[in-house]
Structure 1
Amino acid sequence: MSWGEFCTLLGGIMPKTPLGQIVSIRSEEDKDMLKHFTKEQRRIRNEWRSRQIRNMSDEEKAAQVKEIEQMFAKAFG
């Protein structure tokens, strides 16, 4: 599966699924919605935002993407 195909499939995940809910929590920016987050939702969002992805070099990001592609290839290849 190509990275583009994976991204397309991932983008189609419905919000009512467990993965869809996590993605929604991690990406929420609406301050009114954030005020109503549960303690667990805040934890999930804060853990995701505290990751050091923004500090990675382009080479490190590319290596991480390659590693994920290889994991999926092994799992579903």
Structure 2
Amino acid sequence: MNRQGCSTGHSEVWFDLYEDWGLIEASFATQYGIRLRNEPDMSWGEFTTLLAGIMQKTPLGQVISIRSENDKDMLKHFTKEQHRVRDKWRNRKVKKLVTMGKKEAESQIQMFQDMCKNAFGKN
């Protein structure tokens, strides 16, 4: 997913499945016409594939674009709200890096993956 979120090699993660769930739901509805709450049989594999394809013109895509922007010329033209969104995300990332150890982070990731597999099927 590169800039869209999931780590592929050394890419950074630009969304949080828990905190951004509303944006994910809205983006699936916008881009695919899928209401996730009405999709009890969607497999984990299908969900992650669709999530990887979320485009910039969706609610999640727009927020990811703001969070991941590093171009100084683009940042000069950001609104106060865009700066707030970007700064909040980057400050959150720094705080988590300082407070969460590697074992705890791995445990949290595994717990979330297990929860999603149970919710969306075993694929």
- Where on the TM-score scale, by shorter chain, does this alignment land: which range? 0.7 to 0.9
Q: Distance in 1 between matches of 2:53 and 2:104?
A: 27
Number of residues paired by the alignment?
Answer: 74
Letter in 1 for 2:96: I
1:1-77 counterparts in 2 under 5 A? 1=44, 6=48, 8-51=49-92, 52-55=95-98, 56-73=100-117, 75-77=119-121
1:12 deviates by 1.4
Q: What 5-or-longer segments of structure 1 have no aligned partner? A: none
Structure 2 residue runs without a partner (length 5+): 1-43
TM-score (norm 1): 0.74
CA change 1:68–1:43 in 2 (3 A) is: farther
**Could you say which structure has the higher helix fraction?**
1
Alpha-carbon separation, structure 2, partners of 1:47 and 1:67: 25
Runs of 4+ more than 6 Å apart? none
Output the CA distance in 1 between the equivalents of 2:111 and 2:86: 23
SS for the counterpart of 2:83 is helix
Identity among equivalent positions (%) equals 55
Q: CA RMSD in A?
A: 2.2
Residue type at the aligned position of 2:109: V
